[in-house]
Structure 1
Amino acid sequence: MSVVPRSLFARNVLLLVALVAVSQVCALAVLLHFIQTPRIERAAATFASYIETLDGVLRSAPPGAMQLDVRRELPAAASVRPDASRLRFYQTYQRETFIESLRHHLPADMPVRWQSADTSDDGQQRLWIRIHVSGEPRWMALPVPEAAHDDGLATALLLSLALGALAVATAYLIQRHLNRPLEHLADAARRVSAGDDPGTLPTNGPTEIAQVSDAFNRMTSALAEAEATRALMLAGISHDIRTPMTKLRLAMTMSAVPSKDAAFAASAEGYLEQIDGILQQFMDYAGSGAKETPIVGDLNALIANLAADFAGLGHEFALSLGDIRTFAFRPISMMRMLMNLMQNAVLYGVQGLEVRTWTDASANAACIVIADRGKGLGTHDPESLKQPFKRGGGEGQPKGTGLGLAIVERIARLHGGTFDLRAREGGGVEATIVLPIRASTGETQG
């Protein structure tokens, strides 16, 4: 499982946060190494020279000449290194750097020890240094006030963090501004895939986004022109083919063929009907209801009416219709989709015909299953059968164009849904359609 977010927005924000954090750490490292450390070392060197001078004066002074607070023995609480604190890491760093530098500049017979505030009598931090009073080694305590460590770095760090947070917030707003036209582009692409008019995208944003929007507008314009050309061509084909077919039927009716050769007349009429059906299927596949306006309807009522029509033809479907509230769909396209699946069940399944519906509350979708107890899919891939001109019928099966399931797939996608074909448990085939429920016609189907 990748820890990197998938969205460009989240990735950019995460990258900006990381860059700000790295820049702050680098700035702190530069500050400590090139500014603070040399300052502390210079202060330690100066302090060491003062201590050596004082040691030289006290070493030669007669006993009792100077009254100093010195001790023969070092307090047990004094230690070589200061106590480390993660919360006050900079103070710890200052102390350790100062003491190490002080030891470096003082002679070996003048060791340095540290005593924390919680172990001293007066609650004050102390720096213990061994000096020589009248030639005798003594420990001298130098109180170190807490204020000596406060040089404003904590305030500087807080200000730096605040500036970093401001930079991240600014980057967030900039990325949101850049993402908005991308969201509009994605929404327009979904509308195009659903067969709707996406409108014209604005091209007044950043140059790169404007170029993408302009290219998308040109693409949708070209698609609309191609769709208009296709519709005109299909209308012309339908008219040009059906006109001579009608004349041929009329000529056969008026001729002496039906009375002399009824079998030939019936066969010719059957071929004409088959040609007309194939032509209609091509028209249905090319159109698939993309320009049909969705209206609120009762899906269960539509299924019940279709089942009644099939029952009148001698094909009974067992209905198990669940509770599905009315929602917006394209009624003619929906009827065509359901009829194609029910006709397939009748032609290829023959028995065990069944239609089930229910509502998937978690996905807010209407589910439809049309099933049969026929020979099943056999060795055919269900996905390949949904492609145009792919047929699953074997020897002795009904003939067709192979566009029925392709039309179902296209209409399901037009409604923003899915279409699945799989083998039914116990034999046969199940066709499952899942359609998102829209409350009104004003909502985009996509």
Structure 2
Amino acid sequence: MKRLRLPRSLFARNIALLVALVALSQVCSLTVLMHYVQTPRIERAAAAFANYVTALGDVLAVAPLDARGPFIEKLRAQATLPADTALDPPRSLSALYRSYQRETFLAMLRRHLPADMPVRWETGKSARDEAEERLWFRVHVASEPYWISLAIPDAAHSDGMLTTILLSLGLAALATLTAYAIQRHLNRPLDDLATAARKLSAGGQPEPLPTDGPTEIAQVSIAFNRMTEALREAEASRALMLAGISHDIRTPLTKLRLAMAMAIPAGGDQAFVASSENYLDQIDGILQQFMDYAGSGAREAPVVGDVNALIANLAADFAGLGHEFDLTLGDVPPFAFRPVSTMRMLMNLMQNAVLYGVTGLSVRTWIDKDAQALCVAIGDRGKGIAADEMEKLKEPFRRGRGGAGHPAGTGLGLAIVERIAKLHGGSLELRAREGGGMEALVRLGIVPND
């Protein structure tokens, strides 16, 4: 047995519940109205009309001979029925309730009339060419059957109930629209909270949420504001601590370089000097990567620019070092991005391609219109890595194996790239390249600059 599938959003569920409750209340109200008000009203009208017709038949049956003619002429009695009369009134889906009224009235009328007094329904047109409905009854005048017609009482075809139904439907629609507006008003703070949470998770700094809404939602907003303020203070403390560490470590490194230059005479052991300088450069590089990972450009303001131009400049720099990248740059409109962070991200990926792939270096860009994202694919023709290792490489401190003559990195490069991509509303995907090698695909959310 299949379970009822409810809408996923709270807003849709509340609206569906309110609509169901309003519809149920209207159905219950109409059922009570029909059963306890309208049906007894029609039955009373049918009983009174039956008494009137029965009395009329009795009068005609005992009328004096000289008075029967004027009676018959006055009542327009006929020996035969008109051709357009019917046993039951016509049904109409467009006037369902009116058909129900007619059938109910006619059934109750026949229940109260004598068995020898049949009833027929006529739907025709009056002299004014207006729709007219009449009932035909068979009576006996001096044992001769005659058919007389009487206008149908209002209880049999009144539109009052139809007006009530339409009014109920209108009120139900108004209640639904009002509930929709109220629910939209209540959901707006939740939408703001979700937007702020997404911005915070991407590394941004959302504005404080308003706290003037309903009490329950205001309490959530207050708690969120306190959390973001605590995270902001923690971020400031971390940045201050890292800046202090960087300064405190780089100062003795600089002094060590100076001491080495002054202590080793000219023409001394140059291999020792080069090795020492290399170790100092590695320490400085590792320190810089830790600083980059901690910052990742969260405080950098986006600037409208051309990513293709940035890629072309980086490719020219690598070409100057002997590493040629094959560029396939698509039509990318200018959009807002963090230039320094984006340059660091692209440089890390291009350095990885040089370090691990060595050959077949390439950069491709295009726009994914469905996802409203810029796609940058940086590939190589190296040995590649196993599929189950690709996601692990994005974890902090997960080191890859460097190429020949290159040391292993700190394990923060791809973690930095992923942080910067998420900061731009995007993602990082590592995948095997068609034809061999590996490809890093970065998606950045874009808002075209109008």
Superposition TM-score, scaled by structure 1 size: 0.86
- Residue of 163, 166, 177 corresponding to 1:158: 166
Deviations 1:159-214 (A, max 9, x none): 33333333233223323322332333233223323433322222111112211111
- Kindly indicate whether residue 404 of structure 2 is the aligned counterpart of residue 404 of structure 1: no
Q: Distance in 1 between matches of 2:46 and 2:447?
A: 77
Q: 411-420 or 153-162, which moves further after superposition?
A: 153-162
Alignment of 1:71-90 (within 5 A): 71-90=78-97
Aligned 8 A contact 1:295 1:328 in 2: yes
Distance in 2 between residues matched to 1:402 and 1:318, nearest whole Å: 26
Corresponding position of 1:239: 247
SS in 2 for 1:116: strand
Q: Does 1:55 align with 2:57?
A: yes
Deviation (angstroms), 1:101: 0.8
Instruction: Return the match for 1:334 from 331, 342, 351.
Output: 342
Residue in structure 1 matching 2:179, options 151, 171, 176:
171
- What is the alpha-carbon distance in structure 1 between the residues aligned to residue 153 and residue 48 of structure 2? 19
For 2:92, give the aligned amino acid: S
Alpha-carbon distance, 1:236 to partner: 2.8
Contact 1:415 1:436 in 2 (8 A): yes
**Deviations 1:215-244, CA, capped at 9 Å, x for gaps:** 111111111011112112222332333344
Q: Which residue of 2 aligns with 1:184?
A: 192
- Work out the CA distance in 2 between the residues paired with 1:78 and 1:361: 69
Describe the SS at the equivalent of 2:430: strand
Secondary structure at 1:117 match in 2? strand
User: CA, structure 1 residues 125+328, in 2 after alignment: closer, same or farther (shift >3 Å)?
Assistant: closer
Aligned to 1:271: 279
C-alpha distance in 2 between matches for 1:90 and 1:44: 17
- TM-superposed deviation, 1:105: 1.6
Closer/same/farther in 2, CA of residues 220 and 125 from structure 1, 3 Å limit: same
Q: Which residue of 2 aligns with 1:420?
A: 429
Q: Is the 8 A contact 2:355 2:402 kept in 1?
A: no
Cα deviation, 1:4-26, whole Å, max 9, x if unaligned, reads: 66554454444444443443333
* Match of residue 216 from structure 1: 224
Distance 2:147 2:66 in 1: 16
d(CA) in 1 for partners of 2:421 and 2:365?
A: 15
Amino acid at match of 1:104: R
8 Å CA contact 2:325–2:361 kept in 1: the answer is: yes
Q: Could you tell me how far apart the structure 1 residues matched to 2:199 and 2:403 are? A: 42
In the other structure, the counterpart of 1:431 is 440
C-alpha contact 1:417 1:434 (8 A) present in aligned 2: yes
Q: Which residue of 1 aligns with 2:377?
A: 369
Q: How many residues align?
A: 439
Any stretches of 5+ residues in structure 2 without a counterpart? none
RMSD, aligned α-carbons: 3.3
| Structure 1 residues 117-128: aligned runs within 5 Å | 117=124, 124-128=132-136
C-alpha distance in 2 between matches for 1:354 and 1:393:
21
Match of residue 42 from structure 1: 44
Contact 1:81–1:113 (8 Å) recurs in 2 = yes
The answer to whether the 8 A contact 1:380-1:392 is kept is no
- The aligned amino acid for 1:94 is Q
For residues 115-147 of structure 1, the C-alpha deviation after alignment (integer angstroms, 9 at most, x for no partner) is: 222699x96422122333334444332233789
Aligned to 1:33: 35
**In the TM superposition, what whole-angstrom CA distance separates every residue of 1:62-111 from its partner, at most 9, and x where no partner exists?**
55542324344444543332111122222212211111111112232222
Deviation of the 1:333 alpha carbon: 1.0
Could you tell me which runs of 5 or more consecutive residues in structure 1 were left unpaired when the two chains were aligned. none
CA offset at residue 368 of structure 1?
2.0
Q: Is 1:289–1:411's contact at 8 Å kept on the other side of the alignment?
A: yes
Q: Residues 92, 328 of structure 1: CA spacing in aligned structure 2 closer, same or farther, 3 A cutoff?
A: closer
Matched to 2:89, the amino acid is P
Q: Which moved more, 1:332-341 or 1:180-189?
A: 180-189
Partners of 2:101 and 2:156 within 8 A in 1: no
Change beyond 3 A, Cα 1:430–1:228 = same
Tell me if the contact between 2:357 and 2:382 (Cα under 8 Å) persists in the aligned partners: yes
- What's the offset of the Cα at 1:344? 0.4
Report the equivalent of 2:117. 110
Residue aligning to 1:355: 363
Match of 2:106 in 1: 99
Is the contact made by 1:116 and 1:124 (CA closer than 8 Å) also made in structure 2?
A: yes
